Amino acid sequence: MSAAPHHASTSLRVWDWGFVALLICAVLAVGWVGVIAHEEGLKTEQTKRQGEAWLKWLGEAAGKRASSDYAVSACAASPGKLWRDCLTWLQGPEGPMAQQRNAFTQEAIRLVVKCDPADHTLVGALSIEKLVPTPPGSAVPAILSALTSEDLIEHKLQLRLAVCDNGAAPIRIGEVEF
């Protein structure tokens, strides 16, 4: 007795169509996540470029601001000058940073004490810290502290700049003497 040959069906069943639909949805979801990641990456890059613009301007101004004919009086290295005055000019209408906007929120760039991943309101912000040298012979050569609006800028300052990424974690831009 021989059994009749069984012919495999080539048509797709309901479960097969469901699996194909699931695969299509998965591919679309991966593509969508990729687009979102790319957009966030572009915003992070723009934020880094803005931090680099600050670093460049501070570095270029450092050598000039001690001269008596320095054009930007708010940032000049003269007695009684405060960081607040220089910052106001930098972000003011005639300042070089006036047009900068936070890539994530489209608001003006905000200076913060430090980037903190626990505080997501800091996304896209700029952090400027000063390095204060300790007395000779100290175990630690310098102490890092926030550059406040009341700090005097009449003498040279060693500054460290960082920007806050899309998770509010710091991205170090560099150090400059101002």
1 pLDDT more than 80: no
Are 145 and 129 contacting, i.e. CB atoms less than 8 angstroms apart? yes
> In percent, how much of the chain has pLDDT > 90?
69
DSSP 35-71: HHHHHHHHHHHHHHHHHHHHHHHHHHHHHHTTSTT-S
Rounded to whole angstroms, the Cα distance separating 109 from 87 reads 11
Closest CA to 125 of 93, 99, 160, 162: 162
DSSP state of 103: T
With contact defined as beta carbons under 8 Å apart, do 62 and 176 qualify? yes
Q: Tell me what pLDDT residue 173 has.
A: 97
Cα separation of the two ends of the chain? 98
What is the C-alpha to C-alpha distance for residues 164 and 173, in angstroms, rounded to an integer?
10
For residues 150 and 91, give the distance between their C-alpha atoms in angstroms, rounded to a whole number.
Answer: 17
pLDDT for 51-105, tens place per residue? 999 999 999 998 888 888 888 889 998 898 999 999 999 999 999 999 999 999 9
Residues 12/125, Cβ–Cβ less than 8 Å: no
Structure token pair of residue 60: 């270029």
Instruction: State pLDDT tens for residues 7-31.
Output: 666 787 889 999 999 999 999 999 9
Mean predicted confidence (pLDDT) in 112-122: 94
Residue 3 — very low, low, confident or very high, per pLDDT cuts 50/70/90? low
pLDDT of residue 4 exceeding 70: no
Angstrom distance (rounded) from CA 51 to CA 4: 77
